[in-house]
Amino acid sequence: SPQQHQQHQHQQQQQPRSDLSLGCQLLGMNCADPTEFALSWPSFCERGGLTDVHADGWGLAYYQGSSLRQFHDVEAASSSALAQFLGTQPIETRNMLAHIRYATAGEVDLANVHPFSREMWGIN
């Protein structure tokens, strides 16, 4: 919601940014058989703002069959309704990549939330 986004921006302004080069954090999965990632997802989301400083957005990409599914949000993963909803779904995939962001450079904006995708030769 716009109110939650404003609260997040206010919290972000209050949190001191260090000179440390903290990278974003990733969760990846590559399996021979379709596997449900819901067991790892809640703990990863907690690191996105609750138990760690990576509260500047999150993203998830996975293949469902041959189709790419992507979800992105500027809210902290730990408080994002979308992230929590996805954690309740029985999503099975062979390939998944998730990202939680700590904005050391660039705005807190969907344009800066990974994973990015591109199309080449008509293939995602």
- The tokens 């969760």 sit on which residue? 27
Rounded distance, CA 93 to CA 4, Å?
A: 31
* Residue 14: predicted pLDDT: 46
Do 102 and 54 form a contact (C-beta atoms < 8 A)? yes
Q: Which pLDDT belongs to residue 118?
A: 66
For residue 73, give Cα distances in angstroms to 60, 68, 79, 85, 109.
Answer: 9, 17, 11, 13, 8
% of the chain surpassing 70 pLDDT: 76
Q: Would you say 47 and 100 are in contact if contact means Cβ atoms under 8 Å apart?
A: yes
What pLDDT score does 24 carry?
86
Mean pLDDT, to the nearest integer, of 27-31?
93
The pLDDT-based confidence of 10 (bands split at 50, 70, 90) is very low
Distance CA 3, CA 117 (A): 29
pLDDT for 44 equals 92
The conformation of residue 66, written as its DSSP 8-state character, comes to T
Torsion angles phi and psi, residue 25, rounded to 5: -115, 145
Per-residue pLDDT at 21: 57
Cα torsion through 98, 100, 103, 109, rounded to 10: 70
58 vs 29, 97, 112, CA distance in Å?
Answer: 16, 11, 10
pLDDT digits (tens, 9 = 90+) for 75-110: 999 999 999 999 999 999 999 999 999 888 888 988
* pLDDT of 56: 92
Catalytic hit among 8, 24, 44, 83: 24
Active site residue 24: yes
